[in-house]
Amino acid sequence: MIKKLKPYLSKYKLFTILAPLAIIIEVLLEIRIPFLMSQIVDVGIASQDITYVLKTGGLMIVMAVLAMLFGVISAVCGAKAGMGFGSEIRKGIFNKIQEFSFANIDKFSTASLVTRLTSDVNNTQNAFMMIIRIAVRAPVMLVSATIMAYSINKSLVSVFLVAIPILAISLSFIAMKTYPRFHAMLKKYDAMNATVQENLISVRVVKSFVRSKFEKDKFKETNDGLMNASLRAEKILIWNMPIMQMTMYSCIIAILWFGGIKVIGGTMHTGELISFISYVSQILMSLMMISMIFVNLVLSRASVSRIVEILDEKVDVTDSASKGLKVPDGSIVFNNVSFKYNNESENNVLDNINFEIKPGERVGIIGGTGSSKTTLVQLIPRLYDTTEGEVLVGGNNVKDYKLDTLRDEVSMVLQKNVLFSGTIKDNLKWGNLSATDEEVMEACKNAQAHDFIMSFEKGYDTELGQGGVNVSGGQKQRLCIARALLKKPKIIILDDSTSAVDTATDTRIREALNENLKDTTVIIIAQRITSICDADKVIIIDDGRINAIGTPDELLETNEIYQEIYNSQQKGVA
């Protein structure tokens, strides 16, 4: 698992090596200080030799200053390595998410991806900084202080032989118990992020439905859930400190007791006991650090596994084809296509779909909501892969094209579309960076957006708020259509893209497409029968199956569903 993250470290190798190296030097310098101290007491003071005291004292100062210097070097290197490592992992996750298909994103949920990109990377980064510094310092300190203590007095060291197993057992117990609880806590984090995200994205809907109270309660629930999960994990974790400290102070008491007896009995010097106690505190301090590292590693292991899960995720719509295959024309063929979103579910969302569309045809698709119209057209630019059967574009299986090539030629205006913050022109060029101003204007004229854009004071340079909040629904739809047209695709799919546009404008958009984009295949999913009544063919979808295909006139003669929709909408007109 950890190996997976190694590549993200390569840029910071030097700092990753320097940080622990510097801290080892720091420990080796520091560890001499109590020994020098005992020399001052036992040799210098005992023989009243002031020059010895001053000389040894001076040496202590030099060592302390050097130790501090190396400590600082280690801290700086550690921070550089840690922060760099974190930033590289974030970059890695972000890039991986960009490759994700819709299905991959559905699987993780947006909120969980955000938590993993932020909190989990933070946990990992902190754990890493700890590993390269404190996790090196503590064992080195432990070993060298034990050696020093042993060299002062062999028999007193046996106190530890009792203490260490007690600590080891209780720590492993704590770690084992907390790991699953931390995992559960991170899941609650996901849930809370999901609530907040959904609320913020839909804040206008929440306000207009006066649902703030409901939303507050919902937030309280997830927030409390997070708190309880954290408490459950902490409840075990808090035992760590008291167990540590109790052992530590018991050891000191035992050493003072046995050491005191030895000093009184004359088998040990006072200075030796003083330095022995210093070493004991250093030993216990490093044990405490080790236990802290332990706990943090447990927490970060949960985070690392969540990060690796993303990095390991198999992107299910991949660019296997690398042949420079071009899309020759805008024809589309569905051969026995079936599809389900989830491989485990029983029923197909699309069932055995067969049809053929010739280049340049105008095709209408109608059907009730939830009848799988959107699902059907999403297979054409390969936003999802078919479960069975094949989709051909320009005579080739969509899987044989490079994704970029395919999606440049199949432009889809999604039902739920978004604009980004920036000027109108920036947003439009998003579809085609190299488009000239003339091309932008032409696309906007075809999408019937030019006139309203020019009515804005700054025209094409008007700033859009985040998500395009300062244009109306119908205006936004027309901008999205223009953005799709700007790619000059061979196939354009409008998924209910004119639902908020008035009928007259809707008609003008279709007329413009018919006149100016004769060779482009146009697929229009619509609720209004008028939007498809001049199509070359209409596909009627009912519950994931094709109910009928024909010209609007044929269908009006023969098809019940078509007649029903036609009649209900004609009544409105009459």
Ligand X SMILES: Nc1ncnc2c1ncn2[C@@H]1O[C@H](COP(=O)(O)OP(=O)(O)O)[C@@H](O)[C@H]1O
Nearest CB to ligand X, comparing residues 78 and 367: 367
Q: Supply 85's token pair.
A: 């490592």
Q: Supply 487's token pair.
A: 């790619």
- Residue 102 near residue 378 (C-beta atoms within 8 A): yes
Q: Supply 382's token pair.
A: 């390969």
CA distance 329 to 118: 44
Nearest CB to ligand X, comparing residues 271 and 367: 367
Tell me how far, at minimum, the Cβ of 347 lies from ligand X, in Å.
9
CA distance 223 to 161: 45
Nearest CB to ligand X, comparing residues 373 and 382: 373
Residue 140, classed as helix, strand or coil, is helix
User: What is the pattern of x (binds Mg ion, CB under 5 A) and - over residues 290-329?
Assistant: ----------------------------------------
99 touches ligand X by CB under 6 A: no
Q: For residues 32, 38, 40 and 41, what is the CA-based torsion angle, rounded to 10 degrees?
A: 170
Burial of 160 (0-12, 13-18, 19+ CB in 10 A): buried
- Picked from Mg ion, ligand X, none, the partner binding residue 195 (CB below 5 to 8 A depending on kind) is none
- H or E segment and range at residue 124: helix 121-132
Closest CA to 125 of 82, 76, 77: 82
378 touches Mg ion by CB under 5 A: no
Q: Which span sits near Mg ion by CB under 5 A: 386-394, 413-421, 465-473, 509-517?
A: 413-421
Tell me how far, at minimum, the Cβ of 374 lies from Mg ion, in Å.
3
Dihedral sign of CA atoms 380, 381, 387, 392 in order: positive
The pairing of beta strand 388-393 with beta strand 396-397:
antiparallel
Closest CA to 225 of 236, 217, 215, 237: 217
Q: Which span sits near Mg ion by CB under 5 A: 107-115, 304-312, 333-341, 371-379?
A: 371-379
CA distance 111 to 196: 9
- Residue 542 near residue 561 (C-beta atoms within 8 A): yes
Tell me how far, at minimum, the Cβ of 524 lies from ligand X, in Å.
13
Tell me how far, at minimum, the Cβ of 299 lies from ligand X, in Å.
33
- Picked from Mg ion, ligand X, none, the partner binding residue 234 (CB below 5 to 8 A depending on kind) is none
Nearest CB to ligand X, comparing residues 149 and 349: 349
Site residues (CB under 6 A) for ligand X, limited to 355-394: 367, 369-375
7 touches ligand X by CB under 6 A: no
- Picked from Mg ion, ligand X, none, the partner binding residue 304 (CB below 5 to 8 A depending on kind) is none
Distances (CA, A) of 261 to 270, 277, 307, 444: 11, 14, 56, 95
- Picked from Mg ion, ligand X, none, the partner binding residue 465 (CB below 5 to 8 A depending on kind) is none
374 touches Mg ion by CB under 5 A: yes
Q: For residues 347, 350, 354 and 357, what is the CA-based torsion angle, rounded to 10 degrees?
A: 180
520 touches ligand X by CB under 6 A: no
106 touches ligand X by CB under 6 A: yes
* Out of 141, 349, 412, 482, the residue judged to bind ligand X by CB under 6 A: 349
Task: Supply the DSSP symbol for 418.
Answer: -
Tell me how far, at minimum, the Cβ of 344 lies from ligand X, in Å.
12
Nearest CB to Mg ion, comparing residues 53 and 414: 414
Nearest CB to ligand X, comparing residues 181 and 340: 340
Q: Which residue is nearest to ligand X (CB)?
A: 374
Residues at the interface with ligand X (CB under 6 A): 106, 341, 349, 367, 369-375
Chain contacts with Mg ion (rule: CB under 5 A): 374, 415
